[in-house]
Amino acid sequence: MNRIRATIFQLCCLVLCSLSACSLHSKDVGYPGAPRHDEARSFTPSEPERWSLPNGVSVIFLQDKELPLVRGKLFLRAGALWADRYPIGTTSAMGEGMRSGGAGDLSADALDRELERLAASIASSFSAEFGGVGFSCLSSDIDRVFALFADVVLRPRFDSDRLVLWKGQALEGIRRRVEDPGTVATIAFTQLMYGHTPYGRVSRSQDIANISRADVAQLHREFVKPDGAILVITGDISRDKAKQLADSYFGGWEPRGSRMPAAPAVDFEPKPGLYFITLPFAQASVKFGQLGVPRFTPDYVEIDVFNEVFGSGGFGSRLMKRVRTELGLSYGVSGGIVPGVVKGTNHVFLQTKAASVGPAIEESIKVLRDLQDRDPGVDELSEKKAAIENSYVFNFSSVDEIAGRIARQELLEYPPDYDKTYLPKVLGIKPEEVREVAERRWDPSQFVVVVVGNETAYAELDKARQIENSPIHGLALTKLRFNEALAMP
């Protein structure tokens, strides 16, 4: 019986994967299933039903009887940004431990066996801003799996042996950071951008060693509460059944009367300059940029279009066309404005040969300056708008994505009409507005440039900064040490 249940579940998942694969392929230019502009513009995603529990939990429900599956997730607005009283990494340990450490009356091993018997899954995690617990199961098993799901949310056991296992995996990940120059460059750039603030915190071995089971359990008590939580339920289940389950398992959850405070400020000023980390790699990894904007500025749509033109549009972006295709200076290059909670980053990431590190950085900055000086062409802009328009519909390819997207947007305080107004705003962007984003949001004089590479790369970087007309001319060049994280200057 267990084998039959598992086979049915796997077949359903295979069907979903096939549908997803078709969706992905249909994004390709010229694919017969690709949506036309008029289809993308007229597309209207399904509207879920909604209700609230007395304790503050908001429920989003969307039925879909295509497959005998039910999925759900509880979204919680809390994360590592509010955990600075704890060792770095405690939030991740708590997020994973809710599921992996057993729950309710079941030990960690017993919970694993029960979910395997049901061919169901439950997963939990927390990031910087929010976290959650999700489940997936056959509709015939919803009563049992929903009960297990509620136990993982409300009554995790945080098994000590599983915490030790998590620590070992985390320590191995920290140890191996220096094996990937891209990871080193990204971590160093983040630290130089955000400094001592919660946004710049990077775990080290000692932080992981300091995490205790008591820390994890206490953080769960602080973060996991009904106030402002959003429960999503989708799939082959009736509204009455979904309401009965939500009421039975979460209706008695005691509210705390408070939500998380505003996100911490970024009270740190990066110091512009060139920062070099010596590691024995034949190629150099580079990440450079400056502090950027919060999540929603008045020009957030213009920023998205600028990104598509500048560096996030794959092989069609200006960075890829110039730095990789025309000049052959980079194995890969991308860039753009990434809004953040309080302050995001504007950045460019590239990988190049050690001998060409200077020209690769210079040409990337020249691409930006060209966008600051001249409007993009009408044809180029139309192409980028079409790319955004055609891909946007795939944010709504399943009921799970639709309902989950609504929950995340509410949790992160998106404008209520974000999805309804986004495409019309994109289509209305003018060439000069893209140039104005480049002018207003980027300032090369404020760039922090991180380079990871060997001594040849260092010599080439030093040579480039001494060329009078170079975009990096005169910038101070500092060597930094990186072991598990950057030794801050």
Dihedral through CA 339, CA 216, CA 255, CA 150, nearest 10?
100
Nearest to 237 by CA among 403, 122, 15: 403
Residue 467 to residue 74: CA distance in whole angstroms: 56
pLDDT digits (tens, 9 = 90+) for 49-78: 999 999 999 999 999 999 999 999 999 999
150, part of any domain: yes
Same domain, 236 and 282: no
Domains identified in the chain, total number: 2
If residue 75 lies in a helix (H) or strand (E), which one and from where to where?
strand 69-76
Q: What is the CATH number of the domain that holds 218?
A: 3.30.830.10
100, part of any domain: yes
CA atoms lying within 13 Å on the CB side of residue 147: 9
Paired residues of 336 in beta bridges: 347
Residue 142 to residue 119: CA distance in whole angstroms: 12
Same domain, 224 and 293: no
Same domain, 209 and 241: yes
Contact 417, 353 (CB under 8 A): no
410, part of any domain: yes
Alpha-helical (H) ranges within 202-333 are 205-210, 213-223, 239-250, 300-310, 318-319
263, part of any domain: no
β-strands 283-291, 332-338: how paired?
Answer: unpaired
Inform me whether the pLDDT recorded for 27 exceeds 60: no
Q: Could you give the 3-state DSSP secondary structure of residue 391?
A: helix
Single-letter amino acid code for the residue at 464: A
Q: Residue 42 has what pLDDT?
A: 55
What's the whole-model pTM score?
0.89
Residue 309 to residue 289: CA distance in whole angstroms: 17
pLDDT digits (tens, 9 = 90+) for 306-321: 999 999 988 999 999 9
Q: Residue 488 has what pLDDT?
A: 78
Distances (CA, A) of 433 to 301, 305, 380, 419, 482: 10, 9, 14, 21, 40
In the predicted model, what is the mean pLDDT of residues 155-160? 98
pLDDT digits (tens, 9 = 90+) for 283-301: 999 999 999 999 999 999 9
How does residue 23 score in pLDDT terms, banded at 50, 70 and 90? Answer: very low
Same domain, 71 and 213: yes
Domain housing 139: 2-19+47-178+196-250
Q: Residue 313 has what pLDDT?
A: 85
Q: Residue 35 has what pLDDT?
A: 42
Paired residues of 471 in beta bridges: none
Same domain, 202 and 348: no
Single-letter amino acid code for the residue at 75: F
294, part of any domain: yes
11, part of any domain: yes
339, part of any domain: yes
Same domain, 156 and 90: yes
Same domain, 96 and 142: yes
Q: What is the DSSP letter of 97?
A: H
Same domain, 174 and 136: yes
Same domain, 315 and 450: yes
pLDDT digits (tens, 9 = 90+) for 216-235: 999 999 999 999 999 999 99
Q: Residue 6 has what pLDDT?
A: 52
Contact 170, 208 (CB under 8 A): yes
454, part of any domain: yes
Same domain, 221 and 283: no
Same domain, 392 and 245: no
Q: Residue 41 has what pLDDT?
A: 56
How does residue 444 score in pLDDT terms, banded at 50, 70 and 90? Answer: very high
Same domain, 290 and 231: no
